Amino acid sequence: MDYQKNKWYNFGDVNHREEGGIFVKRVIPHKNYSNDGDTIDIVRIDNTIIENKKVYMIYSREDSVSDLQDMWKRYKEGEKISVASTCDWERLKGITDQDYIIFQIAIDMIMYYGGDSETISGTNYWELLRQNGIYPSSIK
């Protein structure tokens, strides 16, 4: 698939509002920042019931594309990678779409390690996503 940079993609459930979701985008660095390369932004939203009320929780993290590519390379060369053993990267070996592989590894990272910032919670689903730059019209 031809993933557009700076666009959010839903890699979670089709009914992400009810079942939770994972949103991923590849970010091009701003020209005024140091050029460390592209990053992958990931936002995971889950829900739970607290005191008979549905509460959504947002986890987010950012990973360097080059770091994720390096992990994938080391894994293919036989190095043990802790997240890979938990998340079964064998499923990715036959895939040729490198962007898809990088997205999947980033998703595994947030599922395994959690977010790299404070978890945000609230009852308004879209308001929580908007705080992370995700709008209904911005999801592919």
Q: What pLDDT does 136 receive?
A: 83
pTM of the model: 0.83
Report the alpha-carbon distance of residue 126 to residue 17 in Å, rounded: 9
Q: What is the 3-state secondary structure (H, E, C) of 98-110?
A: HHHHHHHHHHHHH
11-39 b/e with 16+ CB inside 10 Å = b?
bbeeebeeebbbbbbbeeeeeeeeeeebb
For 20-36, how does the pLDDT look when each residue is reduced to its tens digit (9 = 90+)? 689 999 887 655 544 46
For 75-130, how does the pLDDT look when each residue is reduced to its tens digit (9 = 90+)? 999 998 888 878 889 889 889 998 899 999 999 999 888 898 888 899 988 899 99
Question: Residue 11: what residue type?
Answer: F
For 47-71, how does the pLDDT look when each residue is reduced to its tens digit (9 = 90+)? 888 899 989 999 999 999 999 999 9
Q: Domains of the chain: which residue ranges?
A: 9-133
Q: Which two tokens stand for residue 59?
A: 């986890």
